[in-house]
Structure 1
Amino acid sequence: MSSAGSDDLDGLIGDLEEASKVPAKRRGTSIKSTVETTTSLLYDRGALPEELARLVDLLTVRNHLDQASLGAIVRNLYPSGKVGDEVVLRFVGALGHGQLKPSLPLQALLLRWIVMVYHLLENPAILSQSYGVLFNLLDTAAIRPQLCHLLALVTRRKHVRPFRIQGILGLSRQTGGDHNLTGLLRVFKNYYPEIIVGDITKGRAASFKHPDPQWRAKLDEIQHQRSERHDDGGIRNGFAVNHLFGRRLQGAKALLPTVHTMHAQETSVTLEEIDNAESFVKKLERIELPTQLVAVLADPLLQKFLLLRPNAEASSRISNWLMACLGDVASGDADSEIFLDMVDVIHDYAVATKTLPPILLTFFAQFLDTWNGVDKRDIVLESLSFIPMMEFKELHKILRALQQAVLDNTAVAQVAILKFYTLLLQRWTIILEVTNRAASLPVAAVPTLIIHVNELALTITQTSPTVSTYLHILDFYKAAATLYSKTKLLPHIDIVNPPPLLVYLLYFSPSLAVVSRLCGILATYKRAWEIVMSPAVKRPVTDLEQRQIRVFNGFLMDICNCLWRGRAFSTTDANAQGCRIQEPVKAALGAYIHAADSDLSLEVAFGLSHSPLLCLLSASYVQQLEEDEMEDLRARHAGPVTQRSLGRLAKRGGLDLSWQDYRAGVLSYLEAKGFPGIFELIRSTMKNVTRAEGTATGQ
């Protein structure tokens, strides 16, 4: 019986360490239960680095633990973090023949373990430095299969030397064509095909698949529990070929290849031998194109290479591969599921390169015709958000196919499309902002796209009039406002207002967050319109823009009438549109307000003091001022603040606060509470607004 608790791995390892020093016949109790509890804990939560190091000591030094116990520990040795160099070197040092070495079956398990955690090594180069030691152990038949697999992972161009090729050939002849050696020789041949000739590599060869996918799945689960940053492929070096990549497409026989330069000469420079940024820069102009260029979709180094050294032949070869893939599906030779698998790969490529080349747009044009609009929707939409700027006539073909696939008369699908348009507009804004040749780009597509989305946004307000939906709509117009805030772009891009009906629907929503964001966006639009009308933008204001300006001024006047001037729904002021409410509706609302409160009129019911969204915060602001001056006050304000009530309050010994200071203070209070949009709009529109210094929270 172990002296450690059943959940104390540190104590259990201590018990194993003590037991390892005593022969089994001299132990007072059996170690079996301790081993079982230890392996169970390792399976459940993995081993921390310190625990892993202690277990490695038990595994790599001859001791009195039986082979079954040591084997069980290795099979459940799940690291919960990265695997350090010391662990790897201890395992490598334990290989080979010798009285103090672990048994050969245990060595095979240790090599198998290194293969399975290869993607978690802190420094994969440590195995490269040990290459000679590992290679010289190939004559040990008991560990040869695992050793060949590990060498296949580690081998790079610099490791392939004539004496090693001769060594494998000789060993292969002695063993009668060991398929593991043949598999390793094929890896060598990828680097020097002109040196390795003959029929030896044509025989049966090991495929070097993962030894235990279920073990890997459990390892991923443990790693994910320990760190949200866990990635299935580990942290990839962006300046080294991704040799681990080999994603087999479901339902298809196609295999997206890894980077290999098949016809390299001894004097060639290939991507496979690049392992850091310095080497990449020095050899950039001399690097040969790999054989399988479609690997660019998954390999970060090849992506960088083709971005820095664009090549027409490379683009053509990638296009041919993708078109062949599409042709197989169209002809029925491959399952349509291949499309979904390719989308995953293309998504990773688009995110990494921030581009979606024409060849991939062609792929999506075919894909959208067969896609059900549901499977991997988020990945498809994010990938398409990297569509480059193009004439809207061409863009509309893609958008029409996309909307036909996704839209199914549900609000969820409509919002998904709207979020796609938001991402697309944000990416276009970045492109326009970083270029010095905005006039040479198809900038007319931007206002046309916004007009296109205006209709979608109005539709969504009817199918799903919720606060969440309204916020998604405002995300899009925030992206548009951000674009219009770039002064250098305004000479090239026409401003497009949100639809009037949409503005009023959002303004009268039941959410202060929605109203504040809307007001902030309109304030940004206002600044953009002012710049367009100023001499700073050297282009004439078109008739369409003049009409839009009048409509926009109507937004501003109506909102200010509601919030600030106590003239809600007025149409007597210049530009005022009365929030486009018909007179019979206005009369009915006025009658209802008067019946509910004879002292309240419809004109002031949406101001800072009485608005359903603002009245609580306005009252809280006044209460805060009163709390700050409690000792000097003889009266407190009892109800909604008006200009008249403030005058009466001061006469009764209450707060001495002017109407103007009160309203400015409420705006500052709203800003301090995280609702700055109303202040921004009022301040930019009403010229007599001043900030109430020191009267709001946070001032």
Structure 2
Amino acid sequence: MGKQKLRRSSQRLIKPEQQPSYGKGDLSARLRNGKERGDITEKITTQKTHQDKCHSADDQAEASEHDLLEQALQYFGKVEGHVQLKGNDTLLKHLNTVERVGTQRGLPPEGIDILLSLALSGKFVDTVNSRLLKCLIPSSVVLEDTVVKAVSWFCVGQCTASTQVLFIRWLITMFDLIDRKEKLHALYGCFFCFLQDERLCPYICHFLYLLTKKESVKPFRVRKLLDLQIRVGKQPHLQGLLLLYKVYCPELVSLALPTRVKTFFKNSESLWKAQMMTVRRKNLGSPSVGLQVDFGIKQVPLQSKKRKWNSLMNLPISSSTVSIVSQKVVSSLYLHQDEAFPVEQLQTFTQLVQNIHRLEFPAQMGSVLQSPLLLHYINCIKDDSVFLRLNYWMAQVLHEECAWYTGNQHNEMEVRAFLDTIANAQQFLQEGFSNCEEFLYKSIPHWNGCYRSQILQLLSWIPLTAFSEMEQLLYEPLGQIFFTSSLYFKCSVIESLKKMLQNWLSWHAFYADQVSIQDSPMNTTLSGLVNTVSDLINFVGRISTIALHITSSSLLLHFILDFYEIVCDMYVKYAMPLVVLPPAGVFYPALLSMESVNLNHLCYIMYRYRKNLVAAKENEWTKKCKLRLNISSKTFQEYNQYVLAMVGCLWTSQAFQKDSHPQGIFMDAKVLMRTGVENYRNSFNIVHHPALMGHAVLFLQQGFGEEKTLNLGLIKGKLWNWYVEYLYKRGMHGLKVFIESSIRRISSSAQSHSSLSESCPSVAQK
């Protein structure tokens, strides 16, 4: 019945008298369009059918692969006694299946349990054992019971030494994918005994480094390591483990150890690195998943992650246990105050406060970078072991993974995400990591400009260092890159150096009230601090002067003036006993700029310079200055020359006659007459200045309309004062404060001998 009604309604809608009339051409076009739509529909249907067939084929292949894997695991699970490889086609078939699945999609936990025990049981020859261990890539996690069972086979010694070494390397690589580690900590002494084996010692030290907790450090173990070092020499792996022991228990290790972070251990991941990347991309969909910063703590599903890139705060939970911790279990953890609180259960700031005394950091310290709660924690505690472990891990990753772009797009995405993670963590902590500083010093001379945003963010957090070191390690190579780079790269470098200076000044201002500045983490004297800051400012002044000669860009000038806006307020705002003026190569391009924004910015900067100079002079007179400020007469002289040049340009129209700066714009009157320019004296006042002429024209248009011919010479007398007020209302705040602080003093003869005349003597006399 419904279909008949629908059919009738459709028939009513297409009655002939209701159809619009079409011409012959319109009708043919309509038919042609209908045919094209039919062709498109047919193509879409064909493509959809093809996609469905492809998906169906993929599903069938995956199901077939799953069946083959089950058959292979059943075969390996039933192996008893020694099995020969030669002529054993069944073994080769199942071994190839396991290798293919393991290196492409990863193996399930139960599969790893079977194959790992079999590889260490000695039932196969070394070739098969090696192939099995190399394909053990987990798709999710590795069960702790699996590792314990494998360790028992490892201790029995049924396998060869090469297989034992390969197993320890696999254990180091998969360490952060093990769901729990309580039983492994109980086996600490068992692993420690294998330090006697020369082939195993470097890898056992690395594994113990990951496994060590404070309670693991015992006097007899320290003595054992020291005796071993005496016997075999100062090996890097022994020094790395001893250094960690010394951080946990400094009273037990009195030996002098290297303080700078270095690569203590050999790379154990090379055999599984590429396969783990492949498995992670297929399982997670993106190579950078797990590296993107998310400062909201949330529960994440079980996922496979590479050891070094395991930067997620939430650690994997055993698949053999309940995936979500019940409220009863969580509440029971609060009752046992002596037990460690695992960080994977840390979800709120309240939990952090209640369990701050019993938090247990993950074995992989890189996971701390993703958690604002743990960043809060390491910012408060004074446990050097946390920073030692974090610095070692970060130095290793920066050294091995963050080489410059080599053409691998996936690797580039990972490196970019990782550097963003470090930069965000430094921003959160408001201080830089020491290993990032070393990484930048080593890599900047060879930098090809990639990861520009990330590298410059890291650059801005470099701590204070002696100028001799920074000149050689940073300023010289950075200057070479700066001069040969694009305009936008130059702007980015100036912005980064501005943030670096701001960070230095903020650190100094924070610790300025301490009794001794040596107590601050900057570990420098006041004179050393002043010299380092002054050298940075002078370096920026040099490269800015050259850059403005090479590229006369208003955008670059804007970034340079932003830098000097920080410099001009160092004394008043940051308690830094230093005043450094911009070089003439920066001042005059800003004064003669074509952009009113830059001119206004310069006026504000010179106003703030005056405030700082006056404050420093007053503090010196009243003996209120705790930090002795020694300003040379040359600084006052140069400041007065700058102010006279600005007043001569903008107000008195005497710039070409009164500018006394050696690099100024003074010109002989005869030369000016030869130019043929009428009223050349007024060329740079606030009416005729190229940056302000547009405002003057708009002012006259609003006052006289467009009927009368506009003449800028009309702006004088009362119109001059009205025009100045008009500029103030147009947002020229910098010009306003400069005029109010300088021009009125010039016109006031009463203040020619005031106390402030010593800070600006030539300005007051004029």
- Does residue 194 of the first structure (1) align with residue 277 of the second (2)? no
CA deviation vs aligned residue, 1:424-474 (integer Å, no higher than 9, x gap): 122233334444537716531222211221111111111111212211211
1:347-362 aligned at under 5 Å gives the runs 347-362=423-438
Distance 1:405 1:418, change over 3 A: same
SS across alignment from 1:194: helix
Partner of 1:290: 362
Unmatched tracts of structure 1, length 5 or more = 1-32, 44-67, 76-104, 109-148, 153-164, 170-177, 199-205, 221-230, 647-658, 691-699
Q: Closer, same or farther in 2 for the Cα pair 1:639/1:240, shift >3 Å? A: same
Deviations 1:10-42 (A, max 9, x none): xxxxxxxxxxxxxxxxxxxxxxx99x99x99xx
Give the Cα–Cα distance (whole angstroms) in 2 for the partners of residues 245 and 452 of structure 1.
48
8 A Cα contact 2:398 2:439, kept in partner: yes
Map 1:514-593 to 2 at 5 A. Answer: 514-535=598-619, 538=625, 544-571=631-658, 576-577=660-661, 580-584=664-668, 587-592=670-675
Cα contact 2:494–2:560 (8 A) shared by 1: yes
Shift of 1:604: 2.2
Q: Distance in 1 between matches of 2:677 and 2:479?
A: 49
Q: Structure 1 residues 529 and 195, CA, compared in 2 at 3 Å: closer, same or farther?
A: closer
Q: Which amino acid aligns with 2:449?
A: V
Residue 463 of structure 2, aligned match among 364, 380, 388: 388
State the match for 2:687 in structure 1: 609
Counterpart CA distance in 2 for 1:499 and 1:282 is 55
For residues 624 and 294 of structure 1, do their structure 2 counterparts lie closer, same or farther at Cα, with a shift above 3 Å needed? Answer: same
Farther off after superposition, 344-353 or 318-327: 318-327
Give the Cα–Cα distance (whole angstroms) in 1 for the partners of residues 300 and 381 of structure 2: 19
Aligned partner of 2:422 in structure 1 is 346
For the 8 Å contact 1:368–1:405, the answer to whether it is kept is: no
**Correspondences of 1:444-483 after superposition (within 5 Å):** 444=530, 445-483=532-570
- Higher deviation after alignment, 342-351 or 374-383: 342-351
Query: Once the two structures are superposed, what CA deviation does each residue of 1:239-282 show, in whole Å capped at 9, x if it has no partner?
Result: 5687779775xxxx954465659999993311111111111111
Instruction: Give the whole-Å Cα distance in 2 for the aligned partners of 1:609 and 1:451.
Output: 34
Deviation, structure 1 residue 423:
1.8
Q: Distance in 2 between matches of 1:242 and 1:479?
A: 43
- Separation of aligned partners in 2, 1:182 and 1:560: 72
- Please report how far the alpha carbon of residue 503 of structure 1 lies from its aligned counterpart in structure 2 after TM superposition: 0.8
Q: Quick check: 360-369 or 263-272, which moved more? A: 263-272
Distance 1:391 1:269, change over 3 A: same
Q: What secondary structure is seen at the aligned counterpart in 2 of 1:356?
A: coil
Give 1:494 deviation, angstroms: 0.8
- Identity, % of aligned pairs? 15
In structure 2, runs of 5+ residues without a counterpart are 1-40, 67-105, 114-135, 145-175, 188-274, 319-332, 521-525, 748-766
Say if 1:399 and 1:244 are closer, same or farther in 2 by CA, change over 3 A. Answer: farther
- What is the rounded CA distance, in whole Å, between the counterparts of 1:662 and 1:183 in structure 2? 80
Label 1:622 to 1:207 Cα distance change in 2 as closer, same or farther (>3 A): closer
**Quick check: 1:368–1:401 contact (8 Å CA) kept in 2?**
no
Q: Which string of whole-angstrom CA distances, capped at 9 and with x for unpartnered residues, describes residues 131-173 of structure 1?
A: xxxxxxxxxxxxxxxxxx9x99xxxxxxxxxxxx9xxx9xxxx
Query: Does residue 685 of structure 1 match 2:733?
Result: no
Cα distance change on mapping 1:424 and 1:587 into 2, 3 Å:
farther
Count of aligned pairs: 488
Q: Distance in 2 between matches of 1:393 and 1:505?
A: 31
Q: CA deviation at 1:511?
A: 1.9
> Which residue of structure 1 lines up, in the alignment, with residue 726 of structure 2?
669
**Structure 1 residue 497 displacement after superposition:** 0.3
**Structure holding more helix per residue:** 2
Gap change, CA 1:307 and 1:578, over 3 Å in 2:
closer
User: Could you tell me how far 1:512 is from its partner in structure 2?
Assistant: 1.9
Contact 2:340–2:360 at 8 Å: present in 1 too? yes
Output the CA distance in 2 between the equivalents of 1:587 and 1:533: 41
**Equivalent residue for 1:503?**
587
Distance 1:306 1:509, change over 3 A: same
Contact 1:236/1:242 (CA < 8 Å) preserved in 2?
Answer: no
Task: Please report how far the alpha carbon of residue 578 of structure 1 lies from its aligned counterpart in structure 2 after TM superposition.
Answer: 8.9
TM-score between the two structures when normalised by the length of structure 2: 0.53
Letter of the 2:724 partner, please give it. Answer: L
| Alignment deviations for residues 274-327 of structure 1 (CA, whole Å, 9 cap, x no partner) | 111111111011112321223334444432322222321222223333455577
**Distance in 2, Cα, partners of 1:429 & 1:671:** 32
Contact kept? 1:245, 1:298, Cα under 8 Å: no
Structure 1 349/498 Cα, relative in aligned 2: closer, same or farther at 3 Å?
same
Q: C-alpha distance in 2, partners of 1:540/1:280? A: 40
Write the letter of the residue equivalent to 2:721: A
Task: State the match for 1:375 in structure 2.
Answer: 450
Specify the alignment match of 2:199 in structure 1: none
TM score, norm. by length of structure 1: 0.57
Check 1:603–1:679 CA distance in 2 against 1; reply closer, same or farther (3 A cut). same
Shift of 1:210: 7.5
State the match for 1:399 in structure 2.
Answer: 474
Aligned ranges 1:262-301 → 2 under 5 Å = 267-301=339-373
Q: Which residue of 2 aligns with 1:430?
A: 506
Superposed displacement of residue 568, structure 1: 2.3
Cα distance, 1:241–1:288 mapped onto 2, change above 3 Å: farther
In the other structure, the counterpart of 1:130 is none
Q: Does 1:314 align with 2:398?
A: no
Mapped partners of 2:629, 2:138: distance in 1: 75
Q: 1:323 to 1:463 in 2, by over 3 A?
A: same
Compared CA separation, residues 375 and 453, structure 1 to 2 (3 A): same
- Kept after mapping to 1: 8 A contact 2:683/2:689: yes
Question: Given residue 463 of structure 2, which amino acid in structure 1 is its aligned partner?
Answer: P
Counterpart AA for 1:580? G
- Larger deviation, residues 277-286 vs 477-486: 477-486
Give the structure 2 partner of residue 118 of structure 1. Answer: none
Q: How has the CA–CA distance of structure 1 residues 406 and 214 changed in structure 2, closer, same or farther, with 3 Å as cutoff? A: farther
1:391-446 Cα offsets, whole Å, 9 max, x none, are 43444344236516734534535444322211212223333444453771653122
Q: Secondary structure of the equivalent of 1:674? A: coil
Q: Which amino acid aligns with 2:577?
A: I
Q: Note if contact 1:569-1:578 (Cα within 8 Å) is conserved in structure 2.
A: no
RMSD over aligned Cα atoms: 5.4
CA distance in 2, matches of 1:427, 1:212: 38
Deviates more, 1:259-268 or 1:279-288: 259-268
SS at match of 1:313: helix
Cα deviations across residues 165-191 of structure 1 (Å, max 9, x unaligned)?
A: 9xxx9xxxxxxxx99999474599633
**Alignment partner of 1:236 out of 279, 287, 294:** 294
Give the residue type in structure 1 aligned to 2:580: V
The equivalent residue for 1:65 is none
